[in-house]
Amino acid sequence: MSKTTGIVLGLIILAFGGLLTWSIIQSQAKTINYDQYDSAKIIPPDDNNGNIPEHVRGNAESPIVLVEYGDMQCAGCATAMPRITKLQAEYGDRVAFVFRNFPIQGHPNARAAAAALESAGLQGYFWEMIDTLYANQALWSAESGSTRTNTFANLFQNIAPDGDIAKFKEDLGDINTEKKITFDYNIGNKLSKVLGTPAFYINGESIDISESGAENEFLELFRTTLDRHLKELNLPTGPATNETEE
């Protein structure tokens, strides 16, 4: 096989894989009644999302729910995550932070990386994996096939030395992993009306970050919005202090 033929064949396989993934998303969107769910709240696990619970950092019982729809191959999402981590540290148990997968069709490795994220999550390493995937986007964004799988496995092993690598690889293609990713995407697409990533919502209110490029602007926008919601519930506002932590 010539080099040119191999490249063309690879592109055909990649395109077919993208079309197959998209058809799965569309099929699940048609068979599931998404109106039964509230995208502003933490969604319990069921068969539609592969019985994989929402990924929550902070207080899952908090009346304030900050949701992010993110794409693992999105540079803006990689920039936003450390800021959200800082915000979560400031507000602690007053806020529940939920991450949902929203792999964009134009990012060929976004769904595979989401599968790696969910696979790590099944062994209790979701948040560690999301940080390492974003920090190492350049390592896996252009890879494919077994090379990509091995890169994901190496990244997982770095954050989970005692993790089960065989199970991690097996879960990459598990039907429940696929269900979870597709479910998250359709919740964002059909209910939250996500148009791009990262997309943020506080108790269902869309947060427009388009004018908040700098970190201080980004954080101030979220602090202001969170404080407004907290004040409405007569809860302490502002970044954590000794008083708010007691």
pLDDT of residue 240: 79
Please answer whether residues 98 and 62 qualify as being in contact, where contact means their C-beta atoms are separated by less than 8 angstroms: no
The answer on pLDDT for 136 being more than 50 is: yes
Reduced to 3 states, what is the DSSP secondary structure of residue 187?
A: helix
- Which domains does the chain carry? 3-245 (3.40.30.10)
Find the mean pLDDT for residues 76-105.
Answer: 97
In the DSSP assignment, the letter for residue 14 is: H
Percent of the chain surpassing pLDDT 70 = 85
State the pLDDT confidence band at 7, using cuts at 50, 70 and 90. very low
Find the mean pLDDT for residues 88-108.
Answer: 96
The answer on pLDDT for 243 being more than 90 is: no
State the pLDDT confidence band at 30, using cuts at 50, 70 and 90. low
pLDDT tens track for 189-228: 999 999 999 999 999 999 999 999 999 999 999 999 999 9
pLDDT tens track for 51-69: 999 999 999 999 999 999 9
- Structure token pair of residue 158: 């770095």
Please answer whether residues 178 and 24 qualify as being in contact, where contact means their C-beta atoms are separated by less than 8 angstroms: yes
Its pTM stands at 0.86
The answer on pLDDT for 153 being more than 50 is: yes
Q: Please give the order of strands across the beta sheet that includes 199-202.
A: 55-58, 96-101, 65-70, 199-202, 205-207
pLDDT of residue 3: 42
